[in-house]
Amino acid sequence: MALDTGFPQDLSRRAMKAELLDADTEAALARAWRDNRDERALHRLITAYMRLAISMAGKFRRYGAPMGDLIQEASLGLMKAAEKFDPDRGVRFSTYAVWWIKASIQDYVMRNWSLVRTGSTSSQKSLFFNMRRIQARFEREAEAQGVTLDRATLAQKIAQELGVSVADVEMMDGRLSGTDFSLDASQSSDEDGRTWVETLADDAETGQEQIEIMHDADLLRHWLTDAMMTLSARERFIVQERKLRDDPRTLESLGEELGLSKERVRQLEAAAFGKMRRVLEVNSPEVRHFVS
């Protein structure tokens, strides 16, 4: 069933005019959808409780998200609730749907509040939506008692209240206290000031490093070629198929092709590596791990 994507005002007016379902009708609609996948029953159930979704979406407007997006997420939560609701448990659909609607909106707010992911664990979500409220309460109580709370004590009290770690409280305090800045922004008010992106280290290899990497690769390729030439044709084939393919073959498949047992192919592979190791050790001890 497609979601209504009209303007929030229009959707709100339509939701307020929707029917109010009694417990028996609600249960009948839920069973029709669960047992028979009756889309008309689902549509009627969702429409009746859209006012609940819109009401809950409105409580999250202070986080700066567009109301239309919040309603859309609330609608998705409502549909998830309808999909998972079991009318035989004796619980009203509205009671069950509240959790799904709230979870859907909260996930959306946290995903879009900042370009930097704010958090995804249950403790981080609890901090994101409750820390400032609890912090304000503790500060009011301390002020009424004539006490000043330092940051460390306040963090400990918040952590104890929410059952999270002090480290999580300090992390979330830093995220909520700051805002996103563009790396292209100037570090100063001067027009010629450096941008923040210019202060980032460049991880790319320098020209000298690239030359050294190419030289080492050519040298290693030369050593491996020499080592491969000391092998018999069958040993070279086994090494190529086992180590030089993007999708290495199994001992069993090679045994079937060569008319050998799986164990015999393993023995030939080990013997080939032994030959190559001895040749490579003569050239450079540092390349032993390539054939180990």
CATH number of the domain to which 266 belongs: 1.10.10.10
- pLDDT tens digits in sequence order for the chain, 292 residues long: 444 444 566 767 777 788 889 999 999 999 999 999 999 999 999 999 999 999 999 888 877 788 888 899 999 999 999 999 999 998 999 999 999 998 888 888 877 765 444 455 677 777 777 787 888 888 888 888 888 888 888 888 888 888 888 888 877 776 666 554 444 555 555 555 565 555 555 555 556 667 777 776 777 777 778 778 888 888 889 888 888 888 888 889 988 888 989 899 899 989 988 888 887 777 655 554 444 4
The answer to whether position 17 is within a domain reads yes
Q: Are residues 13 and 70 in the same domain?
A: yes
- What pLDDT, on the 0 to 100 scale, is given for residue 230? 84
The answer to whether position 280 is within a domain reads yes
Q: Are residues 237 and 265 in the same domain?
A: yes
Q: Are residues 108 and 173 in the same domain?
A: no
Q: What are phi and psi of 195, to 5 degrees?
A: -85, 160
Alpha helices in the chain (DSSP H): 8-16, 23-36, 39-48, 50-58, 67-84, 93-112, 122-144, 151-162, 166-177, 207-229, 233-243, 251-258, 262-283
CB 53 within 8 A of CB 101: yes
Q: Are residues 96 and 148 in the same domain?
A: no
The answer to whether position 117 is within a domain reads no
Range(s) of the domain holding residue 126? 122-177
Q: What is the CATH number of the domain that holds 19?
A: 1.20.120.1810
Q: CB within 8 A of 24, min separation 6: which ones?
A: none
Beta bridge partners of 186: 195
- What pLDDT, on the 0 to 100 scale, is given for residue 175? 66
Q: Six-digit token pair at 93?
A: 């659909």
Q: Are residues 41 and 136 in the same domain?
A: no
Q: Are residues 141 and 52 in the same domain?
A: no
Q: Are residues 14 and 103 in the same domain?
A: yes
Cα 58 to the center of its chain, rounded Å: 26
Q: Is 76 helix (H, G, I), strand (E, B) or coil?
A: helix
